[in-house]
Structure 1
């Protein structure tokens, strides 16, 4: 049971007194401290779906005791490692300043659908200095704790919870000194009884993306679930769930998107249970038409956990029925030819488990990089599934 220090007093996590204290502490911006270690580690209070939750500070999980529920594996095992201190800079208060590798303004009279991100050869770019659009999506998923799962959460994570987690994560981040939450639009779950309220909130949230007709146009970022792609008179429409209007994209950009994200689209189309998540920069013309500038895609399973292949999906399915927590690793800016931890089991004893899925056809440089990654984290027990060698090894 976790214990927190707040206002000079120590409380157990599930005590009625502590739960009653959280709404007032949230309004007063009081910071709880986790007592899993001495000195206690700072946390923050988030409000999600009307509930008040104590959450770890961004990227502070590895500082908690391994026995603490707030413990998180080292970020060096995923694509997040190279970005820390460069594209992602965290101050003493837990506020995160982000450097973006994509534009948030657009010159010209209208927003034109240009191209999916990361279409150029990544080897000629400095991937550690700025966040690509895909890396931004992965970072929101990571900080929103949407990479974590245990069996007791089954049936409790829908789009409403995903949206709240993303907005809570964004509230801790800034871009060029401006709150990311002012630039991020995540569609709200539609409820007929609150139709007018939803329309009013959506209109206010999208005001920053509307064209003024003069000067460079500001863009916004949206994270949403793709419903389908349909043909338009010119170009294509991307229909998003919980949104009554499409995002427009040109035919050429859609072809490049299909080539760049062929694997994600193939996986999404293979099962009705999967969700296709889009992140895009977009603007709204004076006529009210929303058009994509840049975009990236990610496929997730029914629990909203990202996966890159059917092999990773099989591993997630095996782990989804366990009571212990698992954490999905993400690629961020890294290319597919580079290894990352697929899943970690932070609560495993006597040591956390780092699980790797080596794809069929992995080359010698992949295996060499994997060996170096495992050697660098001796405090974690490796579990390796080399797909080319046969069936999945027994789980720890």
Structure 2
């Protein structure tokens, strides 16, 4: 069980008086210290209703003890590594992450062809110094801790919970000097009896995206679950779950390029009715008040919102979900599919283990990069599944 220092006192995670102390510390903007290691790792306090939670500061997981629930694998083992210090710059004092994006959050003049579809910037090499649209979705998912699962969590996650964690993560991010939370729109869980109140809150949240009388238009970022792409008289309508009667307009060219670029994600989504297809998109409101998508990327996730990019990853995730210890799904961010990552991390109580999947047809460059990753982190155990060699080998737990 984790122990925290708050002010001059030390509390165990399950202490009865912890909530009252956290409420007081939250009001004072005081940071707890996780005592898994001395002199302690700074954390921050988040509030959901009357409940206060202690959360890890962005990208500080490597500073925690491997036995601590706040530990995370070195970011060099995922697509996060090439982005650190460039696309993502974390202030060690405030914990805020300044993001550099390779897509625009404003629009001037007529609509141009989107950059995030086809062979766009979310398929670039590790030297990229800006965060792609898909990369931003991965970073939000990572910082919201939606990549984590353990069999000790009974039941399943629900959208209201996913939404809250994403919104909290966005509060720790800055884009061009402004909080990302001011630009991000994540629809709240829809309830028919609250329809009027929900629509009023949505109108207020989307007001910044309204078309101005002149000058450039401000764009917002949508993160939501795809229900379907309906045919429209011109183009398509993206229907987002929890937003009935509020379509996002998508032109035909953008839709065609989306299906081509993310063919794998759409095929996985169609094959598994329990999975969700998540969309991240930039959008604005036209003079008629309609939401128009400018750029878009998608990601497929399991029933419990864990991302995956192949049936092999899904099989591994399902195996990890039966374990009592925590597992963390690795994400690709900007990296191409032909570059290795630790597909998941199993947090053993004795040693963390990185799990790697080598796809069929992987070349010598892939293998060499994989061996370099494993050798560079000798203190972390490794497990490798080469798809060409057959079924998944026994997991080392």
User: Do these two structures clear the TM 0.5 threshold for a shared fold by scoring above it?
Assistant: yes
Please give the alpha-carbon distance, in whole angstroms, between the structure 2 residues aligned to 1:221 and 1:127.
25
Between 1:311-320 and 1:23-32, the stretch displaced more is 23-32
SS of 2:257 mapped into structure 1: helix
Shift of the 50–249 alpha-carbon distance from structure 1 to 2, 3 Å rule, reads farther
How far residue 117 of structure 1 moved from its aligned partner, in angstroms, is 4.1
1:231/1:237 contact within 8 Å kept: yes
2:66/2:349 contact within 8 Å kept: no
Q: Which residue of 2 aligns with 1:222?
A: 222
Q: Which residue of 1 aligns with 2:66?
A: 66
SS of 2:372 mapped into structure 1: helix
SS of 1:311 mapped into structure 2: helix
Please give the alpha-carbon distance, in whole angstroms, between the structure 2 residues aligned to 1:195 and 1:122.
36
Q: Which residue of 2 aligns with 1:149?
A: 149
How far residue 113 of structure 1 moved from its aligned partner, in angstroms, is 6.9
User: What whole-Å deviation, never above 9, does each CA across 1:274-331 have from its counterpart, x for those lacking one?
Assistant: 1000000000012111111001000001010000100000111111111110000000
How far residue 252 of structure 1 moved from its aligned partner, in angstroms, is 1.1
SS of 1:293 mapped into structure 2: strand
Q: Which residue of 1 aligns with 2:300?
A: 299
Q: Which residue of 1 aligns with 2:19?
A: 19
Please give the alpha-carbon distance, in whole angstroms, between the structure 2 residues aligned to 1:121 and 1:139.
16
Please give the alpha-carbon distance, in whole angstroms, between the structure 2 residues aligned to 1:81 and 1:129.
11
How far residue 350 of structure 1 moved from its aligned partner, in angstroms, is 2.8
Q: Which residue of 1 aligns with 2:328?
A: 327
Q: Which residue of 2 aligns with 1:367?
A: 367
SS of 1:151 mapped into structure 2: coil
Between 1:45-54 and 1:1-10, the stretch displaced more is 45-54
Q: Which residue of 2 aligns with 1:197?
A: 197
Please give the alpha-carbon distance, in whole angstroms, between the structure 2 residues aligned to 1:156 and 1:308.
20
How far residue 127 of structure 1 moved from its aligned partner, in angstroms, is 4.4
Shift of the 210–66 alpha-carbon distance from structure 1 to 2, 3 Å rule, reads same
User: What whole-Å deviation, never above 9, does each CA across 1:250-295 have from its counterpart, x for those lacking one?
Assistant: 1111111111000000000011101000000000012111111001
Are 1:279 and 2:280 an aligned pair?
yes
Please give the alpha-carbon distance, in whole angstroms, between the structure 2 residues aligned to 1:124 and 1:6.
43
How far residue 24 of structure 1 moved from its aligned partner, in angstroms, is 2.6
Please give the alpha-carbon distance, in whole angstroms, between the structure 2 residues aligned to 1:203 and 1:295.
22
Q: Which residue of 1 aligns with 2:177?
A: 177
Shift of the 345–125 alpha-carbon distance from structure 1 to 2, 3 Å rule, reads closer
Could you tell me which runs of 5 or more consecutive residues in structure 2 were left unpaired when the two chains were aligned: none
Shift of the 239–127 alpha-carbon distance from structure 1 to 2, 3 Å rule, reads farther
* TM-score (normalizing by structure 1): 0.96
Please give the alpha-carbon distance, in whole angstroms, between the structure 2 residues aligned to 1:279 and 1:356.
27
2:124/2:336 contact within 8 Å kept: no
Q: CA RMSD in A?
A: 1.6
Please give the alpha-carbon distance, in whole angstroms, between the structure 2 residues aligned to 1:367 and 1:120.
25
2:222/2:281 contact within 8 Å kept: yes
SS of 2:62 mapped into structure 1: helix
Q: Which residue of 1 aligns with 2:211?
A: 211
SS of 1:374 mapped into structure 2: helix
Are 1:37 and 2:37 an aligned pair?
yes
State the aligned residue count: 394
Please give the alpha-carbon distance, in whole angstroms, between the structure 2 residues aligned to 1:108 and 1:228.
29
How far residue 248 of structure 1 moved from its aligned partner, in angstroms, is 0.8
Shift of the 27–124 alpha-carbon distance from structure 1 to 2, 3 Å rule, reads closer
Between 1:44-53 and 1:360-369, the stretch displaced more is 44-53
Shift of the 239–48 alpha-carbon distance from structure 1 to 2, 3 Å rule, reads same
SS of 1:263 mapped into structure 2: helix
How far residue 108 of structure 1 moved from its aligned partner, in angstroms, is 1.7
Q: Which residue of 1 aligns with 2:168?
A: 168
* TM-score (normalizing by structure 2): 0.96
Could you tell me which runs of 5 or more consecutive residues in structure 1 were left unpaired when the two chains were aligned: none
Q: Which residue of 2 aligns with 1:128?
A: 128
